Amino acid sequence: MKIIIIGAGEVGFNIASRLSLENKDVIVIDKDADALSRISDTIDVQVLQGHGSNPAVLKEAGIQDTDIFLAVTNSDEINIVASLITDILSPSTIKIARIRETEYSKLQKVLKEHPPHIDTIINPDLEVVKTINRLIKIPGAVDVGEFAKGRLKLIGIRIDDKTPFSGVILRNIPANIGKQRILIAAIIRKEKLIIPSGNDKLLYGDLVYIVSEDNGLSETLAVFGKHFEPFNRAMIVGGGRIGFKLATLFEEQSIQTKLIEKDQARCNFLSEHLDKTIILHGNGSDQTLLLEENIQDIDVMITLTGDEETNILTSLLAKNLGAKKTITRINKIGYFPIMNSIGIEHVVSPRLSAINTILQHVRKGKVLSSQAIKGEFAEVLEAVALETSDIVGKPLKELSFPKGALIIGIMRKEDIIIPTGESVIEPNDRIIIFSTKQAIPKVEKTLTVKLEFF
């Protein structure tokens, strides 16, 4: 598979890095020589200096024999123009463009349906809003993935001093929870991924990924000492595109919201377009302002400015002043591994959201959904089992499945199954697969040969 990426920023760099590990033919185009040097020095991919919207540059890169074209520069205009030119030069190439401006997003149907066209438009800001909305509604969740039409969830929770099973061997947990079915898909310990066996233990500080049916989520979380609490009051710092979209959503959900924005002109815009949100002109890191607005009574503080250092400091300040929960926007994905060590637990990233969405379109077999878990240690995919597949009709414990990959959920018609080694996959079951990054190429090959995706 040949893939051309225009844009050597954080998104382009991280996508190229992921795909290079999977032995895909990747070319990165950017006009910035320094950005390309960073890529060529660290990743085994080709680079080409030039404007990604220039037909001559695209032809030089070999656009006419390219399977997928990814436009992920920081300019919506360049991404749109480059994708449309690509469609003219190579109609069979799949075009995926990152577009953040709301007004352009409104034209999504036109851009997709009328030639020249763009196959897929990704708005990472909208994906971040969805992620935040999921995080605030699940107690203790550090990461949330939804699969099987939202009926199966993969929840990342931190093992703390309130977790009943800290230090307990996994195979002994079922005996202590009655009929409740628990599947632990992964453990991240000191930035290392563990695919657990029955002999592993849960230790203080572990980030544990558990699989749960949506309608049994509260019971599953209670097993780990996490309990649902009413959520009524939110404070948002940063009234940009994401902050505005989130405040609009909160108004629809009748959540009492205060939004702090330091730019007076932007405050005026927000006041004109939001009905119930209280708009505060000021700096979110101003301790006096936070105390005046009773930060200690806020259920969640969400910092969404374009400066991650400001977001981090404001979240730490809010937490110190009594905010029950903080969610922090981080742009540099490389910061993720150190966030927990400095006290920042709940993190969202437009760039990571863009990467997740792009990956599902890059995966062979027309993947319905693909999500990298926190820190990008692994990925979760969905597929449908064909009647002719070797995985049908055998207990899972007898399947020859790639090492590092695990089937964590089965949807059979309208029934959700949390699998055991005795579970048997039937034709047309939707299966959810957890896979390490290293196992993805083998999983892809297995899925392409044996399975058919939606």
Any idea which of 143-157, 272-286, 361-375, 424-438 has the lowest mean pLDDT? 361-375
Q: Is the pLDDT of residue 367 over 70?
A: no
**Cα-Cα end-to-end distance for the chain:** 20
Q: What is the mean pLDDT of residues 283-297?
A: 94
Q: E strands of 36-108, at which residues?
A: 46-49, 68-71, 94-98
Tell me the per-residue pLDDT of 45-104, one tens digit each, with 9 for 90 and over.
999 999 999 999 999 999 999 999 999 999 999 999 999 999 999 999 999 999 988 788
Q: Cα–Cα distance between 57 and 63 in angstroms, integer?
A: 9
Q: Is the pLDDT of residue 321 over 50?
A: yes
Q: Is the pLDDT of residue 298 over 90?
A: yes
More confident residue, 172 or 253: 253
Per-residue pLDDT at 372: 77
- CATH no., domain 233-342: 3.40.50.720
Per-residue pLDDT at 333: 77
Per-residue pLDDT at 142: 87
Per-residue pLDDT at 38: 93
Q: Architecture of 128-223 per CATH?
A: 2-Layer Sandwich (3.30)
Tell me the per-residue pLDDT of 382-402, one tens digit each, with 9 for 90 and over.
887 777 777 788 898 888 888
Q: Are 431 and 409 in contact (CB under 8 A)?
A: yes
Q: What is the mean pLDDT of residues 354-358?
A: 82
Average pLDDT, the chain: 88
Q: Is the pLDDT of residue 366 over 60?
A: no
- Using the Cα atoms of residue 179, residue 399, residue 372 and residue 171 in order, give the sign of their dihedral: positive
Provide the 3-class DSSP secondary structure of residue 264.
helix
Per-residue pLDDT at 443: 78
Distances, alpha carbon 83 to alpha carbons 96, 120, 238, in Å: 7, 10, 31
Statement: 2-122 belongs to CATH 3.40.50.10490: no
Provide the pLDDT confidence category of residue 238 given band limits of 50, 70 and 90: very high
Per-residue pLDDT at 205: 87
Per-residue pLDDT at 390: 73
Per-residue pLDDT at 326: 94
Which residues, 6 or more positions from 402, have their beta carbon under 8 angstroms from its beta carbon?
435, 439, 442, 443, 446
Q: Is the pLDDT of residue 39 over 80?
A: yes
Per-residue pLDDT at 96: 94
Provide the pLDDT confidence category of residue 453 given band limits of 50, 70 and 90: very low
Provide the pLDDT confidence category of residue 219 given band limits of 50, 70 and 90: confident
Q: Cα–Cα distance between 63 and 69 in angstroms, integer?
A: 8
Q: Cα–Cα distance between 124 and 351 in angstroms, integer?
A: 7
Q: Cα–Cα distance between 91 and 119 in angstroms, integer?
A: 10
Provide the pLDDT confidence category of residue 368 given band limits of 50, 70 and 90: low
- CATH no., domain 353-452: 3.30.70.1450
Q: What percent of the chain has pLDDT over 70?
A: 95
Per-residue pLDDT at 247: 97
Tell me the per-residue pLDDT of 171-208, one tens digit each, with 9 for 90 and over.
888 777 766 777 889 998 888 888 888 889 989 889 99
Per-residue pLDDT at 449: 52
Per-residue pLDDT at 317: 95
Tokens 């806020």 sit at which residue?
A: 298
More confident residue, 372 or 416: 416
Phi–psi pair at 343, nearest 5 degrees: 100, 10
- Using the Cα atoms of residue 445, residue 446, residue 447 and residue 448 in order, give the sign of their dihedral: positive
Q: Do domains 2-122 and 233-342 have the same CATH topology?
A: yes
Per-residue pLDDT at 388: 73
Six-digit token pair at 325? Answer: 């929960």
Q: What is the mean pLDDT of residues 18-22?
A: 83
Six-digit token pair at 376? Answer: 């990008």
CA 276 from chain center: how many Å? 29
| Residue ranges covered by each domain of the chain | 2-122, 128-223, 233-342, 353-452
